[in-house]
Structures are given as C-alpha cells and as structure tokens.
Amino acid sequence: MPTPARRVMLLVLHPVFALTGVAASVAGPLLPSLARDFHLTDAQSGLLLFSIYAGMASGALVCRGNYARILFTGCAAMTLGCLGFAWIPRPLLFPFAFFYGASVGAPMTAVSLFAGRNFLARRAATLTLLNFTWSLGATVGPLLASRLLAVASWRAVYSVLAAASMLAVLAVAAAIRDSEEIARATPETAGLRNLRLIVLFAVFFFLEVGVEWMAGAWFTTYILRVTGATLSFAAAASALFWGGFLASRGLVPLVLLRIAPGKLLQGALLVGLASASLLVAARFAVLLIAAIVLLGLALGPVFPLALAAFLDRARHTSDSRFVLSLSGFGGAVLPWLVGGVSAHSGSLRVGLFAAPATLLVMVAMLPLLGLSRRVASPVLPPLEPAAQPSGDPLP
C-alpha cells in the first residue's frame, strides 16, 4: 500500500477513534443527569451502564471481514444512536442504550483491527498512537459534558456527537480501504493452543476494561457524594482519570527506552492496585483527586501493551474480536456490579471496592499469560512505505 494512502488513512482513523472515545466516556459524566431526568436508582443506573457497555461488547462481535465497511456502517449507526438518545422516552431507555453502545463498539473495535491488519510492520507503534488518540477523546468527553451541562442539558451532548458522527461517515467513505489477511500457522497459534490464548487474554481484558469503565462510569457520581461539589465540577474532575490515561500513553514510548515492556506492565498494575485502594479509602477531595489521576496514569499503558502482545501471537487479527468483545462485557458487568452493590449496601464506596479486587486478580494472572516477560514494545521506527507480509511476527 503506497505511503500517501497509509498516511491519509491514519489521518482519518485517529479522529474517528477519538470520537468513539468521546462517545464511550460521556456516559459516566452524564449519569447523574440521566438518573435525575429518568428517576433512576443506583441499581437502575448500573443497569443503564450495563446496557450501554454490553452494547459496545456486542458491537465488537460483528468485526469480521472488511473492516472499512464495518467502520462506515458503525459510524452511520452511531449517528442514529446519538440522535435517538437525545430524545428517547423512558420505556425505551434500556434497549436503546444497548443499540447506542453497539453503534459505538463496532467502529471502536474496527479501528483497532483495521490497524492490526493494515499496519503490520509497525503494528504496536500504530496501536499505541491510536490508543493515545482514543484517550484524548475520552478526556475530552467529560470536559465537553461539563461545558454543555453548564449551559444546556445532556441532550445537547448527544446532538453534538451526532453531528460529529455524520462527518466521520463521510471521511471513512472517502479514505478508508481494507486489505486481505493471510492466517498464520505457527505452533503457538494452532488449534487448542490458539483457543487457550484467546480465552486467557479475553479474561484478562474483561477485567482490565471492566476496571476502566467502572472508574469512568461512577467517578462523577462518587465525587458528587464525597465532596458535595456541583455537577459541572464533578463531571470535569472525572476527566482527570482519562487525562491520566492520555498522559501515560503519551509517555510510554519514552519510558520503554529505559524499562522493559513486561516490567512496565507489571509495575503499572501494582501502582493501579495501590491507587484504587487509596480511592476507596480517601475521604478528602485532595486525596480523592490524586487517586483518580494516579489510577488513570497506571491503567493507561496496560491495554495497548497487552493487545500488541496478543496480536503478535494470535492466528488472525479477527481472533481479537472475541477478546475485545469479552473485554467490552467486562466494561458492562463491573459498572453494573458496582451499582448493584451500592444499592444493596447503601454506599457507593463499598461498590467501588471491586476496583482493587479486580486489579489484584490481574496481577496474579501475569505469570499465567506470560505478559510479565513477553510484551511487544510500542517503541518502533517510523512507518515504511511497505508493510511486512501478514505472516511475519512483529519487529
């Protein structure tokens, strides 16, 4: 594929991926407003989050075949989802939330798989930069919500997203073209070994994405209850979590010049465990904000490093749709679990104890996955005019 065409595609993929980050991250900051207008309890709010994130996970399952076509269809569906969400009646709230999630999840997954298929020679570098851009979008989402909540309502947020999604449809149609893939046949990815690889990574990503969305979904509500701040301030403060993601993913290439990827991953999870523990223990605003930022910094590099390692070892890039789909269900189940525990116990703080517990399990899984010693590094030379053959391993 000629270099100019690859560069044009990247110029389109980055803003589209950022848009999915915005669409995915606004659910948490808007949750208090949605709960107020639709008269939702904590348990019902958790079910609403489950519907959105389960939809995202289901959207990942359709990502097989031509990823360019899936990107186009997904962005078109996201346009309809955002328009509809702005005016949905109460009886249709939960099923439509599922559709909205699916309309976000399909293009979000398709971007990662498109990059994994079409940028083989620099796969890890491309994925890391794309995840940096996604984190930028996820950081902008709460800030956008905060600004619009101050002058309008949550419906204005979805109206803005609908307009941006329509622009994404036009850009994808004009610039994105997919290529075919040749399956790898190596001892590590054959038969039951490939299935074991998929299952183990799927469980790991289920937990990792579950922690991310648990934090992103409930932090605005948690800040409101702990600090008694205004809704606009709480929505803006929750952006610090995604800001931590953004900063850490931007710094990862520099850090990896001195620290091995496996050590970085292991250290990030341990710091995440400590910061999540501080989060549920903090009773002062300063400690709470510090824990939120630190948790974002710690979790930022985990997903791209682990995904690059999986794509390096899997038989097909499309195999990762199962991993990404189950990870999406983690993003649905854990926020729902927090809402259920909060409603049962009468304390959101008790529900958020799920965060350090989940991170502890992830740390224990590292030796089983081999991630503590074998992770593809995202520090790679610039793009070359031609990609490696699809059967080659990562450089």
Residue-wise pLDDT for 194-233, tens only, equals 677 788 888 998 999 889 888 878 888 888 888 877 777 7
CATH of domain 3-179+188-369: 1.20.1250.20
With beta carbons less than 8 A apart as the criterion, state whether 268 and 244 touch.
no
With beta carbons less than 8 A apart as the criterion, state whether 140 and 18 touch.
yes
Give percent of the chain above pLDDT 70.
85
Q: Of 296-305, 320-329, 365-374, where does mean pLDDT reach its minimum?
A: 365-374
- State the average pLDDT over residues 3-19: 86
Residue-wise pLDDT for 68-77, tens only, equals 899 999 999 9
pLDDT exceeds cutoff 90 at 357: yes
**Domain regions of the chain by residue span:** 3-179+188-369
- State the average pLDDT over residues 296-302: 89
Residue-wise pLDDT for 88-136, tens only, equals 888 899 999 999 999 999 999 889 888 877 776 666 667 778 888 888 8
| pLDDT score of 103 | 94
- State the average pLDDT over residues 176-195: 60
Confidence band (pLDDT; 50, 70, 90) for 316? low
- State the average pLDDT over residues 325-342: 84
Residue-wise pLDDT for 238-263, tens only, equals 778 888 888 888 887 778 778 877 78
Owner of token pair 């980050």: 21
Integer Cα distance of 288 and 224 in angstroms: 11
**81 vs 86, higher pLDDT:** 81
Give percent of the chain above pLDDT 90.
26
Q: What is the pTM of this model?
A: 0.70
| pLDDT score of 71 | 92
Q: Read off the amino acid at residue 169.
A: V
| pLDDT score of 335 | 87
